Amino acid sequence: MTERIGQAVVDLGWSLWSELGVPGVIRHHAHVAIDPEPLIVFSPWLFRDDARLQEEIRHWCVGHADRISASRLHGLLKAVSPEVSAAFNDMATMLRSHGVLWTTGTPSAAGPTTTTTPQRSFPMNRPALIRLRLRALAGVGARADVLAELLAMLPVRGWLIASDLQHLGYSKRNVARILSELADAGIADTRADKNAVAFRLATPLLAELLQGQQLAWAQWASVFAFVEGIQRLRQDEGKSDAVRTVAAVKAATRFDAASATLNLTRPAFAAGDPWSGVVVWAEQQLGAIVDGTSPPFMVTRAP
C-alpha cells in the first residue's frame, strides 16, 4: 500500500523540478508559483528513492546556484526535521566541490571542480517561475521574496504584517525593514493593525508585468513538511498491527494540524483498522498534491 506513496512522492519531485527546467515529462504545477529554496531543502530527503532525479537536481543546483538565497536556505533549515537537514547538508557538501557555497567550511585544497553536464536553457518565462523573475528585478534575497508574498495576497486584496512572513526563513527585522521601504517608495500601502503595521501592494501592475495574475501561491515549506509526514508512513508498513495502530494515531494527530494549515479535509480512521484509514486518506491527499489539484494550489480571488 505505501509503495504507491513512494512513487507518488517521486512523481511530485519530477513535476516540480521539470517546471524549473530539469528534463522530465511530468508537469502538473505550471499554475503554481514554485518556491525554489524549500524545494531544494526538502528534495534530498523526499526524493531520495530516485537516483536519476537526485542527479538532475544536483546538476540544476550547480548551474543555477547564483539564483538561490543561501541565507534563506539556512533560515529554512532551522525549522525542518533532523533527517531533512542532514540530507540537505550531505548534498550541499557534495555541491561545494563544484563551487556552490551553501554550507560553511573549508573548500578542498584542490579547489572547486566544474560539472561536465551541459548547461541547459532556463525557462524563466514560465509563469510558475515568478519568484525567479522577481529576483531578476529585485535581486536574490529577502526583498524579492517579500514582494512575492505581497503578490500572493493581491488577488484577495489581503494585508500582511512582518510576522506573517516568518515562514520565509528571513529575520523579522529584515522583513519589517523591507516592507517599510516598499511603503516609503509607494509600492505598498499601509494601515494600522492593532500594534503593528500591515502592508499590501499598491497596484496590480507588478503582477501583470511578471505574469502573475493567474497563479496559485502555496506555502511550500508546509506542503513539503506534510509530504514528509506521509512519506514516513512507509517506515511502519511491515510492523505489527499494534505498532501500526499507535503510528496511525500519532500520524493522524500531526496530519490534523497540517490539514488546518493547508485547508485539507481532516484524516479519518477506518472502523477497526486505524492504520488503513490513515494510509488511504494520506494517499488521497498526496495524489491531489502530486496532480496539482490540492487546496493549497487553488487560485483564489476576492469575492
Does 71 lie in the same domain as 41? yes
Residue 110 neighbours by CB distance under 10 Å = 7
Q: Which of 210, 236, 265 is the last residue of a domain?
A: 210
Return the pLDDT at 201: 92
Q: Which of 96, 123, 150 is the last residue of a domain?
A: 123
Is position 250 within any domain?
A: yes
Q: Which of 123, 155, 178 is the last residue of a domain?
A: 123
The whole domain housing 18 covers 2-123
Strand partners, 200: 189
For the chain, residues with pLDDT lower than 50 are 105-116, 303
pTM to 2 decimal places = 0.90
Is position 298 within any domain?
A: no
Is position 179 within any domain?
A: yes
- The candidate with the shortest Cα–Cα distance to 41, out of 63, 5, 70, is 70
Is position 11 within any domain?
A: yes
Cα of 110 vs its chain's centroid, Å: 34
Does 255 lie in the same domain as 206? no
194 conformational bin, left if phi > 0, alpha if psi -120 to 50, beta if neither: left
How many Cα neighbours within 13 Å face the side chain of 170? 23
Q: Give the CATH number of the domain where residue 139 resides.
A: 1.10.10.10
Q: Indicate the average pLDDT of the chain.
A: 89
Q: Give the CA distances from residue 132 to residues 37, 44, 235, 240, 259, in Å, rounded to whole numbers and listed in that order.
A: 11, 21, 36, 47, 28
Does 74 lie in the same domain as 17? yes
Would you mind telling me the total number of residues written for the chain in this entry? 303
Residue 291, C-alpha cell as written in the block: 496532480
Which amino acid is residue 68, in one-letter code?
I
Does 133 lie in the same domain as 114? no
Which amino acid is residue 214, in one-letter code?
Q
Does 162 lie in the same domain as 112? no
Catalogue the E-assigned strands of the chain.
32-33, 188-193, 196-201, 216-217
Task: Enumerate residues 6+ apart whose C-beta is below 8 A from 74.
Answer: 169
DSSP state, 47? T
Does 118 lie in the same domain as 132? no
Distance CA 39, CA 71 (A): 15
SS (H, E, C) 116-155: CCCCCCCCCCCHHHHHHHHHHHHCCCHHHHHHHHHHHHHH
Tally of domains within the chain = 3
Does 174 lie in the same domain as 272? no
End-to-end CA distance of the chain: 41
Does 205 lie in the same domain as 249? no
Is position 275 within any domain?
A: yes
Does 109 lie in the same domain as 11? yes
Does 183 lie in the same domain as 171? yes
Which amino acid is residue 117, in one-letter code?
T
Does 74 lie in the same domain as 23? yes
Return the pLDDT at 3: 81
Does 153 lie in the same domain as 98? no
Is position 303 within any domain?
A: no
Q: What does the radius of gyration of the chain's CA atoms come to, in whole angstroms?
A: 20
Residue 291 neighbours by CB distance under 10 Å = 16
Is position 300 within any domain?
A: no
Distance CA 58, CA 152 (A): 29
Return the pLDDT at 272: 79
In tens, the pLDDT along 224-277 reads 999 999 999 988 888 898 999 999 989 998 899 889 889 998 887 777 788 989
Return the pLDDT at 107: 45
Residue 45 neighbours by CB distance under 10 Å = 20
Return the pLDDT at 106: 46
Is position 83 within any domain?
A: yes
Cα of 197 vs its chain's centroid, Å: 27
Return the pLDDT at 299: 77
